[in-house]
Amino acid sequence: MTAQEPGVRRLEDPESLLEGAFIEEFLRARGHDPGRLHALPEDEKMHLLQAASVYAAGKLAEVEARAHFVREIHSEE
């Protein structure tokens, strides 16, 4: 790992931030606190995280499809 210069922010993948937000949304909608998942039984936690991952992947695909559609509309103008 390399040391980071002071005042220089690390680049983050915007898609990963959005994916994390979708996963958190999924968990909270089902009554779970993302910070308390460690308290769940391992099999329940894994099932919940797998379902959250599938949900996030679907939402990311939807966002990408909408972005593609908007780009397509604007390129035809």
pTM of the predicted model, to two decimals? 0.75
Cα angle for residues 60, 36, 59 (degrees, 5° grid):
10
- In this structure, are residues 57 and 20 in contact, taking their beta carbons and an 8 Å threshold? no
Give CA–CA dist 75/31, Å, rounded. Answer: 43
Q: Could you list the pLDDT tens digit for every one of the 77 residues in the chain?
A: 455 667 766 667 888 999 999 999 999 999 999 999 999 999 999 999 999 999 999 999 999 999 998 988 888 76
- The structural domains of the chain, with segments of one domain joined by +, span 41-77
Which amino acid type is present at position 22?
A: F
**CA-closest candidate to residue 58, choices 13, 11, 14, 25:** 25
